Amino acid sequence: MSIYSLNQIIAMAQPSNADGKVASPLASFVPLIVLMVIFWFLLIRPQQKKQKMHQQMLTKIKSGDRVVTSSGIIGTVVAVKEKSITVRTAGDTKLELTKGAVAEIVEGSESSES
């Protein structure tokens, strides 16, 4: 059974090149940094763009717009408040929803509803 000194244990734990030279600590972080950049451009940035577009759409909602909610309810906007909207669905049924519940604006006016 051999006993290693502390310096030998540290030397064995450090990554080294084929020449036996110790790799720079910065070089070991490069792949991690590259993965973080790829993650940013493929996942985070597109989600932020989508959220910004959704926010802009919510500010443009007006009375008479036909909307689809995130739960699938389709209706016509009757009234717009600061944080909520009133939607007429079938007949005289009116629902008050938060603006965040709107998934998309289907058509611009009520006149195409038949």
Tens-digit pLDDT profile for residues 11-30: 666 666 656 666 677 777 88
- CATH number for the domain that contains residue 102: 2.30.30.100
Strands (E) in 1-114, as ranges, are: 66-69, 74-80, 84-88, 94-98, 102-107
> What tokens were used for 67?
């909307």
In terms of residue numbers, what domain contains 82? 61-112
Are residues 15 and 46 located together in one domain of the fold?
yes
Rounded to the nearest angstrom, the gap between the alpha carbon of residue 4 and the centroid of all alpha carbons in its chain is 51
How many domains, in total, are found in the chain? 2
Are residues 50 and 92 located together in one domain of the fold?
no
Residue 1, in any domain of the structure: no
Residue 102, in any domain of the structure: yes
Q: Across the strands, what pairs with 98?
A: 84
Among the candidates 36, 57, 78, a domain finishes at: 57
The answer to whether 66 and 106 have CB atoms below 8 angstroms apart is yes
State pTM to two decimals.
Answer: 0.62
**How confident is the model at residue 112, as a pLDDT?**
45
Average pLDDT over residues 59-79: 93
